Amino acid sequence: MIAVVGSTNMDIVMTVEHFTKPGETQKAEKLELFPGGKGANQAVTVAKLLGSCYFLSYIGNDEYGDFYKDYFMKLNISGFKVVNGQTGRAFIELTKEGENRIIIVEGTNGMLTKESIDENLESLLKNDFVLLQNEIPFETTYEVAKRFKEKNKTVIFDPAPARGIDLRIMKFVDFLTPNETEISELLKSSRKNVNSIDEAFEILKKFGLKNLIVKMGEKGVIFKSDHEKFTINALRVKVKDTTAAGDVFNGSFAVALQKNMNLKKALEFANAAAAISVTRKGAQPSIPTYEEVEKFLKSQN
């Protein structure tokens, strides 16, 4: 079973001609609302692919919280809590080329504390895997990773956004899954010039990291550990919206591991799921089913 601990947002998406420049005002071509948040994206991915997910997240007692309560229940997602406050929001500029720029308002996501973990620890630890991100207080994420590793369970950490992260969490992380921008940001505190993924891994290994997975978009995915290094090639698709592609990758990767796929097959499965997601608009509406991913993989052979 798979747990996710993290954020829930409502994505407010503005389709624009180009990213707005400093001092510029431009008219959005379209305004749309999509369920999002890195934690929720991963939880919905797991639920769509696996049939259920335990998701510890806080949503507000507002209209977006009401929406999520019904939505999560329909997807067989349990564990979330309704609290007094505003559900998190993400304001997204989306260009015609499918690139996005995002501003987060944390809302009730900021209320998910270490004490919340203690209160829900028994339910959390019924799961074999946990997916973590960085849109809730970092000390909460750190605590979850530590508690799961104490029970020899698998921790998958997406360090996004890559700010305010204590690298000592790496000793509790089985798989770290940054993109190129995030790994550069993550290693700024090391005060060393990092020119390759090999060098990045060597630095993070000193903090206890076991496996590094770098998501590189159209350049594919690179896996690096002490024992091996390989690349999963990107799949050719027509990009419509890259929002949540990384989250779909992480959720799909956890599902593939849960289903006992070997590492390379699990990464290929996750890569395919993410590729499908970028051909569709929106964060969670873009997430494929298990059957869709399998069919897509067969079509690539």
| Mean of pLDDT values over 166-185 | 94
pLDDT tens-place string over residues 59-117: 999 999 999 999 999 999 999 999 999 999 989 898 988 788 888 899 999 999 999 99
Q: Which one from 158, 174, 241, 247 is the annotated catalytic residue?
A: 247
Decide if pLDDT at 176 tops 70: yes
Does 3.40.50.720 match the CATH number of domain 2-299?
A: no
| Mean of pLDDT values over 193-197 | 78
| Mean of pLDDT values over 133-160 | 96
| Residue 247: active-site member | yes
| Mean of pLDDT values over 15-29 | 93
The domain segmentation of the chain, as residue ranges, is 2-299
Q: What is the 3-state secondary structure (H, E, C) of 193-256?
A: CCCCHHHHHHHHHCCCCCEEEEECHHHCEEEEECCCEEEECCCCCCCCCCCCHHHHHHHHHHHH
